[in-house]
């Protein structure tokens, strides 16, 4: 596959920086009006940053958690790797509990445990740091590969609609669904990009259109409730989204609102693509019914930008992910390849049982 993309052009947004002693997280709660980094020197600060969405997006929270383990290691004095593993476990558990739906979090922590288990005696701190670095650099490489694979499915002259934020901010760089969009625009396959606001946290309005603006890529923001009308107008041929967990039967958990986009897309003959690294694949969960869906504070629905919009005493329900059944998905793109019309058999053929790292 010809890779004609100038990746350096997309390197300007880095949500996660390791200084050698601290983890700096681009505070996504303040974007797009302030570009501020939050400095974490302990693993519990990282867990709090993940929980509060200062850092967010499935791959990014996995990478941040891996660095959180490195920070936790700095706080313990221990000679051997086996003792360190025992001492670190409570911090790993707290990191894992920060958010429940994205499997990348537990996947990254499992990799850190496995890296520690491979060390005999000394050198375990360096091994943890190497593993965190590897998790981040593999994610960046996966995104670039998925960008090329996903873009190749899109006919020149197409319009696309995306949801939430799946760009550099949500990953080690370039992005998953947004990586496909970047590649598709660079290859002149995509003529028009639409982004849904993504209520209630507004990842689309605050983050996605800002990221694309940094790249000089024109994008049009729509209210989430305008999506079916947009599809009916014929302006989009693909919906391209990321994922927080892809189950063994191809069901996909992603940001709330994804499921209704998939239903509307099928109704209008618009194709539906899910783009995620293999670290988002969870072959141990048979179907989407078994995924824990995070519910956040109803207060997120009571206000916009800190200003209350709802009268006092109104109840609100705030699930922040939903599950799109595999039958509504035309393609799942990972760095390992593309699965068209995913189901249990094609997922099994692509990923086997994928034992934990």
By CB under 6 A, name the binding residues for ligand MRU.
Answer: 56-59, 102, 164, 166, 170-171, 176, 203, 242-244, 254-255, 320
How far are the Cα atoms of 43, 157, 274, 287 from residue 284, in angstroms, in the given order?
A: 27, 39, 19, 9
Q: And the tokens for 196?
A: 């849904």
Nearest to 170 by CA among 332, 326, 349, 26: 26
Tell me the C-alpha distance between 104 and 107, whole Å: 5
Check 27, 215, 224, 244 and give the catalytic one: 244
The answer on whether 187 is annotated among ligand-binding residues is no
- Residue 244: active-site member: yes
Give the residue with the Cβ less far from ligand MRU, 276 or 347: 276
Cα angle value 106/259/178 (rounded, 5°): 65
The answer on whether 188 is annotated among ligand-binding residues is no
Give the residue with the Cβ less far from ligand MRU, 124 or 174: 174
Minimal distance, residue 255 CB to ligand MRU, in Å: 3
The answer on whether 96 is annotated among ligand-binding residues is no
DSSP for 190-248, written as a single string: EEEEEEE--TTTTHIIIIIHHHHHHHT---EEE-GGGHHHHHHTT--SEEEE--SEEET
The answer on whether 30 is annotated among ligand-binding residues is no
**Closest residue to ligand MRU, Cβ-based?**
242
Q: How are beta strands 238-241 and 271-275 bridged, if at all? A: parallel
Give the residue with the Cβ less far from ligand MRU, 40 or 128: 40
Minimal distance, residue 346 CB to ligand MRU, in Å: 21
Minimal distance, residue 254 CB to ligand MRU, in Å: 5
Give the residue with the Cβ less far from ligand MRU, 107 or 124: 107
Binding residues for substrate: 56-58, 99, 203, 254-255
**Residues recognised as catalytic:** 244
């Amino acid at each position: 596959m010809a890779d004609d993309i100038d990746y350096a052009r997309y390197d300007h947004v880095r949500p996660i920086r390791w200084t050698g002693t601290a983890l700096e997280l681009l505070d996504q709660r303040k974007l797009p009006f302030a570009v501020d980094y939050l400095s974490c020197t302990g693993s519990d600060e990282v867990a709090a940053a993940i929980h509060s969405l200062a850092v967010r997006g499935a791959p990014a929270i996995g990478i941040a958690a891996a660095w959180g383990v490195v920070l936790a290691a700095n706080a313990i004095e221990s000679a051997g790797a086996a003792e360190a593993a025992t001492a670190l476990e409570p911090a790993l558990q707290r990191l894992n509990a920060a958010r429940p739906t994205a499997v990348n979090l537990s996947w990254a922590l499992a990799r850190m445990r496995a890296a520690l288990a491979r060390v005999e005696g000394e050198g375990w701190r360096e091994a943890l740091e190497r593993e965190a670095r590897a998790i981040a650099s593999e994610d960046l490489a996966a995104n670039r590969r998925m960008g090329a694979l996903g873009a190749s499915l899109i006919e020149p002259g197409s319009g696309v609609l995306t949801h939430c934020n799946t760009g550099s901010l949500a990953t080690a760089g370039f992005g998953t669904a947004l990586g496909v969009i970047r590649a598709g625009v660079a290859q002149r396959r995509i003529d028009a990009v639409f982004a849904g606001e993504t209520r209630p946290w507004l990842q689309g309005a605050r983050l996605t259109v800002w990221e694309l603006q940094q790249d000089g890529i024109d994008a049009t923001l729509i209210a989430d409730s305008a999506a079916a009308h947009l599809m009916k107008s014929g302006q989009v041929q693909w919906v391209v989204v990321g994922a927080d967990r892809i189950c063994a039967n191809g069901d996909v958990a992603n940001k709330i609102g994804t499921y209704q986009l998939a239903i509307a897309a099928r109704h209008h003959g618009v194709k539906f693509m899910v783009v995620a690294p293999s670290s988002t694949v969870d072959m141990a969960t048979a179907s989407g019914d078994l995924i824990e869906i995070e519910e956040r504070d109803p207060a997120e629905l009571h206000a916009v930008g800190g200003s209350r919009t709802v009268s006092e005493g109104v109840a609100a329900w705030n699930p922040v992910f939903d599950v799109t059944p595999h039958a509504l998905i035309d393609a799942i793109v990972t760095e390992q390849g593309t699965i068209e019309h995913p189901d249990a058999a094609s997922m099994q053929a692509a990923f086997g049982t994928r034992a934990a790292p």
